[in-house]
Amino acid sequence: MTSITEVTVHDVRFPTAASGDGSDAINRGDYSATYVELSTDDGPTGAGFTFTNGRGNEITCAAVDALAHHVRGRTVQEVTVEPVAFWRSLVADVQLRWLGPEKGVIHMATGALVNAVWDLRAKLAGKPMWRYLAELPTDELVANVDFRHITDALTPDEAAAILDKGRDGLADRLALLEREGFPSYTTSVGWLGYPDDKVRALTREAYAQGWRAMKMKVGGPPADDLRRARIIRSEIGPDALLMMDANQVWDVDEAITNMTALAEVDPYWIEEPTHADDILGHARIARAMDELAGGRCRVATGEVAANKVIFKQLLQAEAIGVMQIDACRVGGVNEVLAEMLLAAKFGVPICPHAGGVGLCEYVQHLAIFDYLRVGASLEGRMVEYVDHLHEHFVDPVRTRDGRYLLPAAPGYSATMRPESIATFRFPDGPAWR
């Protein structure tokens, strides 16, 4: 028996605002992590976090503290045997559920705690998270999913069938990943706060490093968006993929109008074209993109999709052609499992959202597991890559020629370096004094 004896939360913030790193049409700020450590009586320390922005971190840290009593004193074994009961203890807390339910700050705090427990489970098994998940029996994976509110789209039997089928050819798929790594794209070239010459130089550099898929931010003045898009397209040629991300800044009709102008650079997807909750709006934009570009420009969203119910509706409404799961926006691995299975049922490829603080470290495991056991295809699959803040993690992502290499260390790659926590802890770390 391994007991979780203490839950410690750290408010860790990185001063990214000054350089424009991470700047887009809506967000400016200091990339932050609500970082959770689970101490145990006789085992490793579990690590998990949710990604936030600057002062927002104060609120998620408070929410983790409010939920911590559901985790403190548990044994890893009881959580593993009754995972949905554990998950529901967090999402259905009789006083805190009112703050969600299953959305926003309280759900992100749940995600940090749930992910820390999964990190502990994988560390105790001595396996990286992707392998730990891929090797779990089908019934155990299904038992980790809370099907409440999604059985109209996906039943436990259907999930089991998808996971069983995922066993076919698994060894071949793993051998391919070990040889070649997992495909990715980079978002580091086109932050909205970067001047044109920096965009051009970074695009050229990324192309030389092997990336053949790049994403730029849009949602500034339309003429500026088009000018920057032309710069990137001229650098990467007609065959490389160029994706665009509006970070929800447009109205539905505005999105259609602006993408009509941007169609000349042949975008592969438009990400978050409008408000994240607007499922019918996304569906309308998706139909317009089909008419405009004959299926060449997909609608992508999901990094702030509040929960599995939103994804269910996006899929049912045929509103997305790319599903961007996020590792810590929702209630941790259990809920992401539900989302991956929904995507497989509806035949929509998953391209996880990454960047921020540690999101690349997290989602590489999810994408690899999805390929090995759920989606079982690389067609249209890429993990986002952003080249900053990896140095603060004990087991940072490794890439080669624009592809993620398989993580090997036990756990979820979420453990931060103690010296980084000490330096960037808000407000008393030396970086903030």
Which residue out of 10, 282, 353, 392 is catalytically annotated?
353
Q: In one letter, which amino acid is 265?
A: V
3-state secondary structure of 35: strand
CB-neighbour burial class of residue 406 (10 A; exposed 0-12, middle 13-18, buried 19+): middle
- Please identify, using beta-carbon distances, which residue of 44 and 356 lies nearer to Mg ion: 356
Which residue out of 103, 217, 282, 390 is catalytically annotated?
217
Stretch that binds Mg ion, among 75-83, 242-250, 334-342, 399-407 (CB under 5 A): 242-250
Stretch that binds Mg ion, among 105-113, 201-209, 243-251, 260-268 (CB under 5 A): 243-251
CB-neighbour burial class of residue 196 (10 A; exposed 0-12, middle 13-18, buried 19+): exposed
- Please identify, using beta-carbon distances, which residue of 144 and 248 lies nearer to Mg ion: 248
| CA nearest to 130, candidates 381, 365, 352 | 365
Token look-up 């603060």 returns 392
Q: Does the footprint of Mg ion cover residue 339 (CB under 5 A)?
A: no
Q: Which residues contact 281 (CB under 8 A, 6 or more apart)?
A: 252, 274, 275
Rg, C-alpha atoms of the chain: 21
3-state secondary structure of 301: strand
Stretch that binds Mg ion, among 55-63, 100-108, 240-248, 338-346 (CB under 5 A): 240-248
| CA nearest to 370, candidates 409, 333, 332, 415 | 333
Question: What are the structure tokens assigned to 302, written together?
Answer: 């999901």
Q: Which residue is nearest to Mg ion (CB)?
A: 245
- Please identify, using beta-carbon distances, which residue of 249 and 337 lies nearer to Mg ion: 249
- Please identify, using beta-carbon distances, which residue of 235 and 245 lies nearer to Mg ion: 245
CB-neighbour burial class of residue 379 (10 A; exposed 0-12, middle 13-18, buried 19+): exposed
- Shortest CB 98 distance to Mg ion, Å: 29
Does residue 353 carry a catalytic annotation?
Answer: yes
| DSSP secondary structure string for all residues of 324-346 | ---TTTSSHHHHHHHHHHHHHHH
Q: Does the footprint of Mg ion cover residue 245 (CB under 5 A)?
A: yes
- Shortest CB 187 distance to Mg ion, Å: 8
- Shortest CB 270 distance to Mg ion, Å: 11
DSSP state of 374: I
- Shortest CB 245 distance to Mg ion, Å: 4
- Please identify, using beta-carbon distances, which residue of 48 and 355 lies nearer to Mg ion: 355
- Shortest CB 379 distance to Mg ion, Å: 22
Question: What are the structure tokens assigned to 203, written together?
Answer: 């695009």
| Other residues' Cβ atoms within 10 Å of the Cβ of residue 400 | 11
- Shortest CB 247 distance to Mg ion, Å: 6
- Please identify, using beta-carbon distances, which residue of 117 and 255 lies nearer to Mg ion: 255
Beta-ladder partners of 40: 4
| CA nearest to 300, candidates 276, 274, 321, 328 | 321
- Binding residues for Mg ion, rule CB under 5 A, total 1
Q: How far apart are CA 206 and CA 93, in angstroms?
A: 46
- Please identify, using beta-carbon distances, which residue of 159 and 359 lies nearer to Mg ion: 359
Q: Which residues contact 333 (CB under 8 A, 6 or more apart)?
A: 114, 115, 118, 129, 133, 144, 366
Does residue 217 carry a catalytic annotation?
Answer: yes
- Shortest CB 329 distance to Mg ion, Å: 11
- Shortest CB 303 distance to Mg ion, Å: 5
Q: Does the footprint of Mg ion cover residue 384 (CB under 5 A)?
A: no
Q: How far apart are CA 433 and CA 419, in angstroms?
A: 16
- Please identify, using beta-carbon distances, which residue of 219 and 402 lies nearer to Mg ion: 219
> Are 97 and 374 spatial neighbours (Cβ–Cβ below 8 Å)?
no
Catalytic amino acids?
A: 217, 353
- Which chain residues interact with Mg ion by CB under 5 A? 245
